[in-house]
Amino acid sequence: MSGWRVQIATGSGTPIYRQIVEQVRLAAATGALVAGQGVPSVRSLAEQLLINANTVAKAYGELVRDGVLESRQSLGYFVAEKRQVFSRGERLRRLRQAVDDFVQEAIFLDFTADEIQRAVEKSLTALEWCEKATEAGQ
């Protein structure tokens, strides 16, 4: 898996399986993981992260269902060709929900609208940089 690794934060408010799902989705979306590339087996990743294999299996199952990974009989899990499995309406609904959740959390943490906007812009800039770096390395 060419240097890319899942990192979990125990004690985080985000369940471990969700952390795995989010990291694999982001890596596939930004090109850190490319179509056809294998990911660690369920057992291997569980051992690496010192977690229960069922947690990894749950994450991989969700990633397969969402079209991010594909399971190849007797070979393991691989990054799927990029395709959109959700309708535009469903994607917009999910985006709105994610933005609403993020903004509510940021406001709870006492950030201003300007601080939130700067944080989002900084994050998007960092993602663009990652995508360009990945493209340059290919």
The answer to whether residue 11 is domain-embedded is: no
Given 55, 79, 103, the domain boundary residue is 79
C-alpha separations of 93 from 70, 79, 98 in Å: 25, 25, 9
Contact status, residue 62 vs residue 85, Cβ threshold 8 Å = no
Shared-domain flag, residues 56 and 108: no
Structural domains counted in the chain: 2
Shared-domain flag, residues 20 and 46: yes
Shared-domain flag, residues 24 and 74: yes
pLDDT in tens, 41-85: 999 999 999 999 999 999 999 999 989 999 999 999 999 998 777
Give yes or no for residue 118 having a pLDDT over 80: yes
Give yes or no for residue 137 having a pLDDT over 70: no
The answer to whether residue 4 is domain-embedded is: no
- Range of 112's domain? 88-137
The answer to whether residue 8 is domain-embedded is: no
The answer to whether residue 6 is domain-embedded is: no
**pTM for this prediction:** 0.68
pLDDT in tens, 21-49: 999 999 998 889 999 999 999 999 999 99
d(CA 38, CA 40) in angstroms, rounded, equals: 7
Shared-domain flag, residues 47 and 96: no
Shared-domain flag, residues 100 and 63: no
Shared-domain flag, residues 73 and 97: no
Q: Which pLDDT belongs to residue 11?
A: 83
The answer to whether residue 120 is domain-embedded is: yes
